[in-house]
Structure 1
């Protein structure tokens, strides 16, 4: 076979592999939509709206339910988190309709595919709602607890300073003076960091303005 023939065969093979990959993704998405496009009786609650019409594909939202003891939500997230999410993880939901309140729930299913339009992945979560305060169509923010740690030391990022080597340090108040300590961080939630080493329970920290301090400078603690 000539060199040009070999190159042509390689190009055809690469094209076939790409087509196969797209077909696999399409199959996974179709299977996920088919699983979501089912309503099985009996179920708790009242049908408040029927989205589907005769002849429509059995995918996406079919009906809206309210008044039941369980509220089900569809959550969108970045595809890079697909490997971290799985059914059974605790999730907390908050909405502007009920400010300051958290609704506890659990992840029930994670879609294996990514929406080609939004570029986001999707999972389903259920929340206990005996009072019927959550209604179909509301939006909010859900936080999934990927890892849970108990008895952890947690410090706000405002009390930490990034070091040139990429590490972190904090300013501890000892005998009225500043003492810098290098700390090892663990889990992060928002602007709060878990401290693995370098701090002990009961240590007093400088919460703001650590960049303006020098080792050994005198510090007056603010009155509570």
Structure 2
């Protein structure tokens, strides 16, 4: 009896549990239905709102795209370099540097003494060569004196021979002595010239023991110290000429035909914000590099006040003359998010039409359009933030981009 009663109770519990589970599932289904109905209602409301907006007429201001005289401006960048930079090498290797007279940052003039080498040995060689030259010159003078004496003896013997006072043998003997004296003088003269050459060579070598500045400029670097031995492959100092600077740039094949020597350049550097330095295109490569399709140019910059320094990074503008171009107000341009592309809205038949465009240079408050528009297209300059392709518009104000080109 007890066992049967327990089984009845378990059965009743299971039925109750199933009943509760069913109620929970039914409740969840009701919630899902209500959520779905609310979502549909909201979506329908948004559609109705969009439909209402699409019928809205948006007031806009427009400007006419026109051909305008634009200054052709070529913008470049480059590193400023000295007009000349020289590594000063010693001409003699293996000698000890006795004294260095300059430090990094010093200004030197052409011909200033930079350093000297120990010269004890070369001075001794110079003294020896000077003595050798003196001895050679003394020997030449002795030879000249002997020759002069023999000339007189030869003349006297020839006269005696004509008078049959001396024999032919005596005449031949004096002639031989005279010829020997002539050759002795020649040899003494050659020895003098040799001694002079040796002395001159040593004097030239001695001058190389003093190192001078080959150009004027600033000492950009010093590579050796006093007491070091010289190495012809290793410079003593580097001199940088900073009173005139240059920028080496590359221009594209497209811009190359518009360049010519003498074009003025405007240069700016980060070290002097807002200040414009003037330069001139001084060198233009006569050929295009087939690998890069570019040509090299040099812009020279006077720098008498030494404000600019080599190593600075520069922004350059070259003005290449005016040209006609289609332009619109810059404020009419809209940038596509996440891209570098631009678009505008033009107005046609009271509707806004989205046009993708390609831009060129900007000048003042107008921008060149290289593709996507035609002359006299009406571009929206105000109110475009409320527009979409096909929106109805009403023109409130009308203007033009720049002045029409003649």
Instruction: Give the TM-score taking structure 2 as reference length.
Output: 0.28
Higher relative contact order (CA 8 A, sep 6+): 2
**Structure richer in helix, relative to its length:** 2
Larger Rg: 2
Instruction: Give the TM-score taking structure 1 as reference length.
Output: 0.45
